Structure 1
Amino acid sequence: MLTRRHIRVKVMQSVYAYNQSENPNIDTQEKFLLHSVDQMLDLYLLLLQLLVALQEQADSYLVLSQKKHLATVSEKNPSRTFVDNKLLKVIASNSTFNEIIKKKKLNYWELDGEYVNIILNELRRLEWYETYLTKKETTYKEDQVFV
């Protein structure tokens, strides 16, 4: 999220750069500020997209593990708590979010899927993730707190 603190930092950077430059030009600094804010928004969108990519990767992993010939009981009937996270489903199905991602061509997680795999594997090792997966049913609020 683009917070007031982020905006303040960028404004202070612009003011400092304006005061330190030999040829102060307010238009140049304004363009720099707007570009910086736009880049922060892109980073925020990428983080949201990463969460959706993690959910999609976890779903495909569950489907593959269920198709194994020698699957264990936990692989045949895995916990779908993370895959069915209500907040992530709302984000993934938001048409405005998807349009902005498509318009800005922010498909980095499709291109660099190995990073999603690495993050998902690290997430699986965490104790609080395992605790979250043990829940059979979660509320929207619990899903929101998890994210």
Structure 2
Amino acid sequence: MLNRRHLRIKVLQSLYAYYQSDKESVIRAEKEMMEAIDRIYDLYLYFLLGFAELKNVAEHRIEENKKKILPKEEDLNPNMKFVENKVIAMLEDNYMLIQASEERTVNWVGDTEREIFRKMFLHIRESETFFEFMNNGNTGFEEDKNFLIALFKTEIANFDHLYSFFEEKSIHWLDDIDLAATMVIKTLKGFEEEGANDIMPLYKDPIDEKDFVRTLLKKTIKREEENLKLIDELTSNWELDRIARMDVLLMEMAITELQEFNNIPVKVTLNEYIEISKFYSTPKSNVFINGVLDKAIARLEADGQINKIGRGLMN
């Protein structure tokens, strides 16, 4: 499921798109942001459904090999370790996965889709990971689970044809693949031989998390003028238009969050935006942003503009 950092990143991306579009519509920006967050779950479902597709290709190949005019011993008595994988069987029968994919119309139906998995299986068959697990002689549920996780990490999640498919579906998905893949790995690791083995929801608390992203987006836009004024004052040695746009947006979001969310500790807000800057801005941005936000916190606290409810939230 998405955590607050993932949600902050989605707000950041939406703000960037909003300002690139000449501030066309806050309502539209919010709608597109919520749709983009929602689509991450589709990506997660596509990945989970892909295991059964690979199994189908493998089964078809086994049946075709048996029909050869002069079948070999390995054709007549194939290694069934992959097609009999217990975790894949659980995914095929998982009620939550079936229901979610039907509700969201996520599936691998179509000639193009089948060809992707045919090529993927041919690629997987030649991989070191596949060979090692198919021939190590180990059996059991944990072995099946480790097999699937290793295969997903090394061969499936990074498969080029899958990337192309996702890019055609949504250009924004390329930014979300790592997150969706992490969700898949956590899901597989959590499966047990006996148990419900539910798939992950998108949000931990849908009402609270949706309110968080909507409020952060709209309030950051609303506070733009005063936020930029504060940043300008705190970066007196810099012209504001010379600071990287992503740095400015991150600082605007942080300053807004410090004032609008009285249940989020100051230190949490500061650390989150510094961490995000390491991936979404320039190499030295985290040091710069840290320095500016430290000054911003001191100024806002002195002016009584940061009011936290609860013990320890000011630290």
For normalisation by structure 2, the TM-score amounts to 0.42
State the partner residue of 2:131: 130
Q: What root-mean-square deviation, in Å, do the aligned CA atoms of Structure 1 and Structure 2 show?
A: 2.3
Measured in 1, the distance between the counterparts of 2:93 and 2:22 equals 49
CA pair 23-15 structure 1, distance change in 2 beyond 3 A: closer
CA 1:68/1:91 → structure 2, altered by over 3 Å: closer, same or farther?
Answer: same
Q: Which moved more, 1:92-101 or 1:10-19?
A: 10-19
Q: 1:68 aligns to what SS in structure 2?
A: coil
Q: Is residue 139 from structure 1 mapped to residue 137 from structure 2 by the alignment? A: no
**Cα 1:128/1:22, change in 2 over 3 Å:** closer
Contact 1:2 1:41 in 2 (8 A): no
Cα separation, 1, equivalents of 2:136 and 2:145: 14
Which residue is equivalent to 1:63?
A: 63
Q: With a CA cutoff of 8 Å and minimum separation of 6, indicate the structure with the bigger relative contact order.
A: 1
| Structure 2: 5+ residue stretches without partners | 149-315
**Does the aligned pair in 1 maintain the 2:65–2:71 contact within 8 Å?**
yes
Number of aligned residue pairs: give it.
Answer: 147
Identity of matched residues, %: 29
Partner of 1:86: 86
1:20–1:96 Cα change, 3 Å: same
Shift of 1:53: 0.1
Distance 1:126 1:99, change over 3 A: same
1:120-147 Cα distance to aligned partner (Å, 9 max, x none): 0000011220111114452322222222
Alignment of 1:1-147 (within 5 A): 2=2, 6-19=6-19, 22-23=22-23, 25-112=25-112, 113-147=114-148
* 5+ long unaligned stretches in structure 1: none
> Can you list the C-alpha shifts for 1:47-73, whole angstroms capped at 9, x where unaligned?
111121001111121122223341101
What one-letter code is carried by the residue in structure 2 that aligns with 1:80?
Answer: M
* Inter-partner Cα distance in structure 2 for 1:60 and 1:91: 19
Does the aligned pair in 1 maintain the 2:50–2:108 contact within 8 Å?
A: no
CA contact (8 A) 1:66 1:76 kept: yes
Letter in 2 for 1:27: I
Q: 1:66 to 1:106 in 2, by over 3 A?
A: same
**Is the 8 Å Cα contact of residues 65 and 71 (structure 1) preserved in structure 2?**
yes
Moved more, 108-117 or 56-65: 108-117
Q: Determine if contact 1:54/1:116 at 8 Å carries over to the other structure.
A: yes
Give distance in 2, aligned partners of 1:102 and 1:9. 28
What's the TM-score, normalizing by structure 1? 0.84
| CA 1:62–1:137: 2 relative to 1, 3 Å | farther
Q: SS at the partner of 1:108?
A: coil
C-alpha distance in 2 between matches for 1:128 and 1:56: 19
